Amino acid sequence: MTIDINAQAKSLVDALLAQPATDQDIELVERQLGRYPRGMVAVGARCVCGRPLAVITRPVLPGGIPFPTTCYLTGPEAVKAASHVEAAGVMQQYNDMLGADEDLKAAYGEAHQLYLAFRHELAVRLGDSEEHIEGTSAGGMPVRVKCLHALLAQSLVMGPGANPIGDLVLERVKDEFDPAICRCTVL
Ligand SMILES: [Zn+2]
């Protein structure tokens, strides 16, 4: 089965830009992060209660700052859960798995391509330059695992199958964070 990555990226961006971030979304994310979410264009994933879990940030922030982490994790419970997995030393396991499993490696490479295609589509729609972030995705992709927050964010925004490592993180943290179960503390 071949998935057309560009078509997938386009339909994701279509759906997200059809519902731009509201003032209420931006205020809530500001409380989640403890700072104003500059360049936030849409909520990329929500908790079952409707609160944002991950946001879509434009490729160039106001002021001209290039920003590669297009899918940005904001839900405090999700952020904490990813930090716990990182602290448990699981990133090394994931890196070892990538080194040993050709299928996983290929799927992770596709996650990288999808991330770039998604951002490219966003850049085109918003008129942002990708000059300084071309070829750069997030989380260590395409060959390393460096930030589980970024990979989990991609999985939440793009759904199951988009990022195999993000999917593993999501499965692993289910008892602590699950988008289908509201444990929101920032209200
Ligand atoms: Zn919630």
The string of pLDDT tens digits covering residues 143-176 is 999 999 999 999 999 999 999 999 999 999 999 9
Report CA(14)–ligand 1 centroid distance (Å).
25
Report CA(6)–ligand 1 centroid distance (Å).
31
Between residues 2 and 145, which one has the greater pLDDT?
145
Structure tokens at 36: 């104003």
Report CA(44)–ligand 1 centroid distance (Å).
14
CA distances to 3, 32, 79, 99, 167 from 174, rounded to whole Å, are 28, 20, 13, 26, 11
The confidence score (pLDDT) of residue 1 equals 41
